[in-house]
Amino acid sequence: MIIAARVSDELKVKIEDLCEKEGKTVSDLIRELLREYVREKEEEWQRVTVRVKVPRKIMEQVDLFVDMGYALNRDQVMSEALSLWLRTKKMEYRKNWKEELIDALSGSNIV
């Protein structure tokens, strides 16, 4: 992965000094920072409490689905549907974040 950023010379020197003290390369440091950032964002997703109002007609269809033996109960169907919806939203968020990063860094120097 290549990351581009516009960094002042003073900050570059500080980063390089920190890396030298830590025995890491600049790439290693940036990689660790990005991993930590992504981990924190994923934890935020896991802490969200969601309340969902489901129209009665949808619940009737869910009950029919359960009655036909395609699922064990309503909770399983709703949990799977919500999980799929959240995964889709998470992918959209990551795509948008990546596009915003690329736009912000266009024309900048590569670190």
Q: Per residue in 54-97, pLDDT tens?
A: 889 988 988 998 999 888 888 888 888 888 888 888 888 888 87
For the chain, the C-alpha Rg in angstroms (whole number) is 22
Q: Between helices 9-22 and 26-46, what is the axis angle to 10°?
A: 90
> What is d(CA 61, CA 52) in angstroms, rounded to the nearest whole number?
16
Q: Which residue has the tokens 């390089």?
A: 16
Name the band, by pLDDT with cuts 50, 70 and 90, for residue 48: low
- Global model pTM greater than 0.75: no
* CB neighbourhood size of 101 (10 A): 13
26, exposed or middle or buried, with CB in 10 Å at 0-12, 13-18, 19+?
A: middle
Q: Per residue in 22-45, pLDDT tens?
A: 888 888 888 888 888 888 888 777
Q: Per residue in 64-74, pLDDT tens?
A: 989 998 888 88
Task: Pick 68 or 98 by higher pLDDT.
Answer: 68
